[in-house]
Chains A and B, each alone.
Chain A
Amino acid sequence: MKPKVGFFDFTGCEGCQLTVLNLERELLDLVELMEIVEFREISSDQGEALDIAFVEGSICSSAEIRRLKAIRARSRQLFALGACADTTGINALCTDRTSEQLVGEVYGTAVGHLRYRHPRPLEAFVKVDGRVPGCPIDGREFLAILQSLLIDRMPELPTYAVCAECKLLELPCTFERGVVCLGPLTRAGCDAHCIAEGDRCRGCRGQVDAPRSGPYYRILEEHGLSEEDILNELRIFNLSGEKRG
């Protein structure tokens, strides 16, 4: 029997699911090997048992917590799809103010019934079996992870940092331009996409398992960054923020 796969989304931009959809050509090869039973199903507390659930977005309300737990309960494996689900990602930028302030700023004071919590990653509420990192996710990495799951091999993410991929592409170090880059802390797997395009790494894929923060901060300080500057850099994708598990 073909494995049943479902895609779900919570608070996020849905860019990761879009990345999956953009893989249509490649997915055609794979689609015969699985059964995609749900995709972007907003209210599916009930439903059939799943082999793999890919869940996008952060968790921001009690209703979302309930729905996430229901998905978890009927899924053999649950994978966080993208940074919002994995580490809260840029959603965590709002944690500098209270949820009441946030609701007030966005919806005004007239709307009294909205109850929002600060966004949290999936891991804060349910067991997560694995993740597809990035903002958005890398399509090829998603395919490799999906392939692994379909042949019952636990997918492995690179344990090294983006610098390695930068070097393999023969890209000059971003620091040589006098630009701060989070590549040394950030998990590889994106083929240094942003740097290859002339930008810098902002850490959307999260930190490697054992980030060398000490030596890295020393280098940032040598480049004239203050502690506050460094924290601001890390804050973009919530690198030092949410604890896992």
Chain B
Amino acid sequence: MDKNEALQIQPRPGQPEKQAGPGAWYLLSRGDIDRLVRSLSVAYEVVGARMKDGRYTLDRISDPAELELEFPPRVHSPKKFLFPNWEKLFRFRLGGKVMLEAEKAAVPRVIFGMHPCDLHAVQVLDDCLFEGEADSTYQAKRQATVLIGVDCEPDAFCFCTSLGTDKIDSGFDLFLHRSNDGYLARVGSARGLRLLRRYLPEIREVDNPQLPPAGKSCQRSIRFPMESLAPVLGEVYDHAIWQEIGERCLGCGSCNLLCPTCYCFNVQDRLDLNLQGGERVRTWDSCQFDQFTRVSGGSDFRPDQTDRQRHRFFRKYKYLWEKHQRTACVGCGRCARECLAGIDNTEVLNSLFAEQVAAEQSPSPGLEYQPQMAELLSVDSLTGREKLFRLRLPEPVSFRPGAFMQVSVFGVGEAPLTIASAPDADGHEIELVVRSKGSLTRALHRLKAGDAIGVRGPFGNGFPVEEFVGRDVLLVAGGIGLVTLRSLLLTILARRGEFGRVMLLYGSHSIDQALFRDDLKRWHLGDQLDCRFAVQHFGSQWGVTGGDITHLFRDLDIVPARAVAAVSGPAVMYRNVNPLLFGLGFTTETIYLNLERHMKCGLGKCGRCQINDITVCQCGPIFPYSQVQHLREAIER
């Protein structure tokens, strides 16, 4: 047996190799290959795929006829020859003086039938086991083993095409490509060339090999660039998907045991029967096993399948990539192919990636501007100019009194309208007041019950109702400003017992223009609140105060120390009313103002409603006086 033959990788210096070296091509018939196997068997253990008990396995080949060169991916990995499950590290003798015996040299071996993915896997093992102090046991096997590649057809579990491991240019001694008239052998190393020349001296070199078109396709794939794997995983350490697969995982370890690149191991002593000696052996281990991360004392830093599955993915696709710039997965599909729980790496990775992409890109640009369709339940005239719309929304909403909706009539446009009703538990129905003023509001006035209407929202920051609890509340409304305060008043009345005195002062131009006259009459006659009105043009049948709203402050009996004031009306009203409130003893903290502007987008973007440096649609439209007193654009003009 020529041991040098097996162990020598580098060509002997000075040997005339011609130009033919790695990269040369030779044409072989199947008969040539059989002869090669027979000749190699003298000096090497020849291993290849053969049928055994009805399935393919990589096994010792004694008869060249049983060697299969085309076989499906479902075969256990050649890892078992290069990094076997049971590997003697050394022998020891007990009894008397302890003696250690080194392991003998590795058996020279030729593996026929390395699929491209498995050749890539050997490179991963090289990365990991040669790093730092090289693992000499692996190194010995690696050097003593001739690797002969063959091509394959992906099955339903393969995803090598996603990882670039469906083909290979180096890392083999020979690679056999099926061709029309036999096999085209590509030389990958000087050793490969020497073997061909020695055992098949008569075969001819091919200058211009005609390979059948390559082009493999896999049903499974990683649907994003391989380079993104590590960054994608970097974001998802705490993702729920680990728990989801952890709860499916049986912890059987099949994924690790079948993986061509998993190499984690345990070291154990095995005793001879007579207890006179034994061997220290290395056996495959699995990060999915219970004892794998258990430490002395019984605690376990990776105690369940959720953590263990995440670790498997991170090790394969992140940690080792960052270390060696090579993914430790070669896409052979063995883990998913034989996982009883159906855990599938491509599925997990694709869903994580898709989720991140979805989070980064708005799935449908402009969605925040797109109204939802509400149903108009009823339309009631409040005055000659204003109508009350009752809407049923497609999704329930919650809001504070003072919030507004963006209402659309397609073809005309969109405008903000304050919600006139109180928020309720159901959240599906709201009321809006529409004053016919421009083309949009005229279009709204033409709608009738049953029509659809586009809405966005609610938007805006309303009254802090919870802060009013236990206090007296003074509501001061002018004109259409009552709409906002009606929402607040209805909210208070629904929880009447939680508030002190409630007083509504309402001023309008004339009786006819007063909003919610039925409500006003009911509130005025009832005992839940003190309701007072003023009209500038009087003379009608209502016995109300003549003049503007300031008249209502004349005999106001209120204790400002325990009261808050909510003010909603035109700017001119604020200029007149605010000094009166301060005169009564209200402070900048106890006066709330409604500073509605034309809130075009409602999203704080368009700038239309911005007063000095504050966007009304986001910070308001309801503000405590203290928040806006420094804003020159707020009230004074």
**Could you tell me which A residues sit within 8 Å of B by CB distance?**
26, 29-30, 32-33, 143-144, 147, 150-151, 159-161, 163-164, 167-168, 170, 172-173, 175, 184, 208-210, 212, 214-216, 218-219
Stretch in contact with the other chain, from B164-172, B203-211, B285-293, B361-369: B285-293
Tell me the dominant secondary structure on chain B's binding face. Answer: loop
- Given the interface pairs A29-B273, A151-B275, the reply to whether A184 lies near B252 with Cβ below 8 Å is yes
Q: Contacts of A26 on B, CB cut-off 8 Å? A: 273
Q: Contacts of B51 on A, CB cut-off 8 Å? A: none
Q: Contacts of B291 on A, CB cut-off 8 Å? A: 159
B250 touches A212 (CB 8 A): yes
Which of A30, A33, A167 is in CB contact (< 8 Å) with B254?
A: A167
5 A-B pairs with CB atoms under 8 Å apart are: A160-B253, A164-B252, A167-B258, A214-B247, A218-B248
Nearest-neighbor residue (CB-CB) of A210 within chain B: B290
Nearest-neighbor residue (CB-CB) of B75 within chain A: A170
Nearest-neighbor residue (CB-CB) of B339 within chain A: A173
Q: Contacts of B257 on A, CB cut-off 8 Å? A: 164, 167-168
In Å, the complex CA distance between A184 and B254 comes to 10
Q: By CB atoms of chain B within 10 A, which of A160, A163, A168, A210 has the most?
A: A160
- With A161-B250, A184-B250, A215-B248 known, 9 other A-B pairs at CB within 8 A are A30-B275, A147-B275, A151-B275, A163-B254, A164-B253, A167-B254, A167-B258, A215-B249, A219-B341
Q: Contacts of A30 on B, CB cut-off 8 Å? A: 273-275
In Å, the complex CA distance between A38 and B24 comes to 73
Q: Is B406 in contact with chain A by the CB < 8 A criterion?
A: no
In Å, the complex CA distance between A123 and B85 comes to 35
Q: Contacts of B252 on A, CB cut-off 8 Å? A: 160-161, 163-164, 167, 184
In Å, the complex CA distance between A150 and B258 comes to 36
Q: Is B271 in contact with chain A by the CB < 8 A criterion?
A: yes
Q: Contacts of B340 on A, CB cut-off 8 Å? A: 163, 173, 175, 184, 219
Q: Contacts of A33 on B, CB cut-off 8 Å? A: 274-275
Q: Contacts of A144 on B, CB cut-off 8 Å? A: 271
A159 touches B289 (CB 8 A): yes
Q: By CB atoms of chain B within 10 A, which of A26, A163, A175 has the most?
A: A163
Nearest-neighbor residue (CB-CB) of A170 within chain B: B76
Q: Contacts of B289 on A, CB cut-off 8 Å? A: 159-160, 164
Nearest-neighbor residue (CB-CB) of B57 within chain A: A170
Q: Is B338 in contact with chain A by the CB < 8 A criterion?
A: yes
In Å, the complex CA distance between A151 and B275 comes to 8
Distance between B403 CB and nearest chain A CB, rounded to angstroms: 47
A-facing residues in B164-204 (Cβ within 8 Å) = none
B85 touches A29 (CB 8 A): no
Distance between A28 CB and nearest chain B CB, rounded to angstroms: 9
- Given the interface pairs A163-B254, A173-B338, A184-B252, the reply to whether A168 lies near B247 with Cβ below 8 Å is no
Q: Contacts of A173 on B, CB cut-off 8 Å? A: 338, 340
Q: Is B55 in contact with chain A by the CB < 8 A criterion?
A: yes
B290 touches A164 (CB 8 A): no
In Å, the complex CA distance between A168 and B76 comes to 9
Q: Is B371 in contact with chain A by the CB < 8 A criterion?
A: no
In Å, the complex CA distance between A167 and B80 comes to 12
Q: By CB atoms of chain A within 10 A, which of B76, B251, B289 has the most?
A: B251
In Å, the complex CA distance between A88 and B284 comes to 33
In Å, the complex CA distance between A150 and B249 comes to 38
Closest 9 CB pairs of A and B: A163-B252, A29-B273, A159-B290, A29-B274, A167-B257, A184-B250, A159-B291, A212-B250, A160-B289
B274 touches A163 (CB 8 A): no
- Binary flags per residue of B265-276, CB closer than 8 Å to A gives 1, else 0: 000000101110
Distance between B146 CB and nearest chain A CB, rounded to angstroms: 23
B341 touches A161 (CB 8 A): no
Nearest-neighbor residue (CB-CB) of B274 within chain A: A29
In Å, the complex CA distance between A215 and B251 comes to 10
Q: Contacts of B461 on A, CB cut-off 8 Å? A: none
Which of A147, A161, A168 is in CB contact (< 8 Å) with B85?
A: A168
In Å, the complex CA distance between A173 and B334 comes to 13
In Å, the complex CA distance between A147 and B271 comes to 8
Nearest-neighbor residue (CB-CB) of B268 within chain A: A156
Q: Is B305 in contact with chain A by the CB < 8 A criterion?
A: yes
Q: Contacts of A151 on B, CB cut-off 8 Å? A: 271, 275
In Å, the complex CA distance between A184 and B339 comes to 11
- Binary flags per residue of B519-561, CB closer than 8 Å to A gives 1, else 0: 0000000000000000000000000000000000000000000
A-facing residues in B285-320 (Cβ within 8 Å) = 286, 289-291, 305
In Å, the complex CA distance between A30 and B273 comes to 6
Distance between A185 CB and nearest chain B CB, rounded to angstroms: 8
- Binary flags per residue of B61-92, CB closer than 8 Å to A gives 1, else 0: 00000000000000010000000010000000
B57 touches A163 (CB 8 A): no
Q: Contacts of A184 on B, CB cut-off 8 Å? A: 250, 252, 340
Q: Contacts of B286 on A, CB cut-off 8 Å? A: 160, 164
In Å, the complex CA distance between A168 and B254 comes to 9
Q: Contacts of A175 on B, CB cut-off 8 Å? A: 340
Q: Contacts of B284 on A, CB cut-off 8 Å? A: 168
In Å, the complex CA distance between A150 and B340 comes to 40
In Å, the complex CA distance between A167 and B55 comes to 14
Distance between A5 CB and nearest chain B CB, rounded to angstroms: 14
A215 touches B275 (CB 8 A): no
Q: Contacts of A159 on B, CB cut-off 8 Å? A: 289-291
A147 touches B254 (CB 8 A): no
Q: Contacts of B250 on A, CB cut-off 8 Å? A: 161, 163, 184, 212, 215-216, 219
Distance between B615 CB and nearest chain A CB, rounded to angstroms: 52
Q: By CB atoms of chain B within 10 A, which of A172, A175, A184, A212 has the most?
A: A212
Q: Contacts of A161 on B, CB cut-off 8 Å? A: 250-252
Q: Contacts of B57 on A, CB cut-off 8 Å? A: 170
- Given the interface pairs A164-B254, A215-B341, the reply to whether A172 lies near B55 with Cβ below 8 Å is yes
Q: Contacts of B258 on A, CB cut-off 8 Å? A: 167
Nearest-neighbor residue (CB-CB) of A164 within chain B: B253
Q: Contacts of B253 on A, CB cut-off 8 Å? A: 160, 163-164, 167
Distance between B68 CB and nearest chain A CB, rounded to angstroms: 15
Distance between B206 CB and nearest chain A CB, rounded to angstroms: 37
Distance between B78 CB and nearest chain A CB, rounded to angstroms: 12
Distance between A153 CB and nearest chain B CB, rounded to angstroms: 9
Q: Contacts of B249 on A, CB cut-off 8 Å? A: 212, 215
Distance between A218 CB and nearest chain B CB, rounded to angstroms: 7
Q: Contacts of B251 on A, CB cut-off 8 Å? A: 160-161, 210, 212
Distance between A18 CB and nearest chain B CB, rounded to angstroms: 20
Q: Contacts of A168 on B, CB cut-off 8 Å? A: 85, 257, 284
